[in-house]
């Protein structure tokens, strides 16, 4: 792949999506060279409750295994759907609103996983985070046309089409179910319950997330030359193509088209 194309793709990603895949790449590379032991990141509620290693609630989503074809498919899937969701108007109220969404998902995922994998929880939940993003995206882009294999479905049907395919293929659906439940809880709290007259407790982003998002912007401003950054950073695009074979999201050749 042409280096300039990689640069254009990378710099064209919104801040949180770009930061996530950057961390994921660094963690994976560090594990390959034995600099970082992935076991220090995995979710283990026994260690969280007894040794207070609370970082594991979040860090378990930053490792999805060694470099492989599935790893690159995951990156492709995550960048497309996460970019589409992060640039949705519903996350434009404050700089850290999408970061707040990701944080909430990691907490929900880690909590829900203990119900399915007692007592420690599922070690790594990166694929569940991806499915949670896809599910919430499906609520925002409900009428987008999505081709999965040779079948075209609406955006809101995609998560269930994926679950159905996983059942047919004999794959484990627990990873997907954890992501679906987590994202649906968020959807109920933010989008459904407020319309019933209840307060929207997720409408205001805690200032710490806005501060972190601004720090991320300052970091990229320092790292990337102004003339290079200006060419790409304001050109965030909606998802156009997706493909993956990861255990949590099996659906090669998934195309997102115009509604």
Q: What is the pLDDT of residue 163?
A: 92
Tens-level pLDDT at each residue, the chain (259 residues): 566 888 889 999 999 999 999 999 999 999 999 999 999 999 999 999 999 999 999 999 999 999 999 999 999 989 999 999 999 999 999 999 999 999 999 999 999 999 999 999 999 999 999 999 999 999 999 999 887 777 889 999 999 998 998 889 888 899 999 999 999 999 999 999 999 999 999 989 999 999 999 999 999 988 877 655 555 554 444 444 343 333 444 444 444 554 4
pLDDT tens-digit map of 15-40: 999 999 999 999 999 999 999 999 99
Q: What is the pLDDT of residue 213?
A: 97
Domain CATH number, residue 190 = 1.20.1540.10
Residue 16: CB partners within 8 Å, gap ≥ 6?
82, 86, 98, 99, 102, 213, 216
CB 59 within 8 A of CB 41: yes
Number of domains in the chain: 1
Residue 148: CB partners within 8 Å, gap ≥ 6?
158, 161, 162, 165, 251, 253, 254
CB 48 within 8 A of CB 56: yes
Task: Please state the pTM of the whole predicted model.
Answer: 0.88
Of 26, 170, 182, 191, nearest to 114 by C-alpha is 182
Residue range of the domain that includes 83:
3-256
């Amino acid at each position: 792949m042409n280096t300039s194309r990689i640069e254009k793709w990378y710099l064209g990603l919104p801040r949180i999506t770009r930061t996530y895949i950057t961390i994921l790449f660094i963690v994976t590379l560090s594990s390959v060279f034995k600099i970082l032991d992935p076991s220090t990141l995995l979710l283990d509620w026994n260690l969280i409750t007894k040794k207070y290693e609370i970082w594991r609630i979040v860090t378990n989503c930053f490792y999805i295994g060694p470099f492989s074809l599935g790893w690159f498919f995951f990156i492709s899937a995550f960048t497309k759907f996460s970019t589409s969701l992060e640039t949705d108007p519903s996350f434009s109220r404050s700089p850290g609103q999408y970061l707040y969404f990701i944080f909430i998902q990691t907490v929900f995922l880690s909590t829900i996983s203990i119900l399915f994998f007692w007592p420690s929880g599922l070690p790594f939940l990166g694929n569940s985070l991806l499915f949670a993003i896809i599910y919430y995206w499906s609520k925002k882009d409900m009428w987008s046309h999505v081709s999965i294999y040779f079948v075209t479905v609406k955006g809101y049907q995609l998560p269930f089409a994926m679950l159905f395919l996983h059942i047919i293929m004999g794959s484990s659906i627990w990873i997907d179910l954890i992501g679906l439940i987590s994202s649906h809880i968020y959807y109920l709290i933010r989008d459904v319950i407020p319309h019933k007259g209840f307060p929207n407790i997720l409408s205001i982003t805690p200032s710490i997330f806005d501060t972190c998002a601004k720090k991320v912007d300052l970091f990229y401003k320092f790292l990337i030359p102004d003339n290079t950054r200006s060419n790409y950073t304001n050109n965030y695009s909606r998802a156009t193509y997706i493909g993956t074979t990861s255990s949590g999201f099996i659906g090669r050749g998934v195309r997102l088209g115009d509604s």
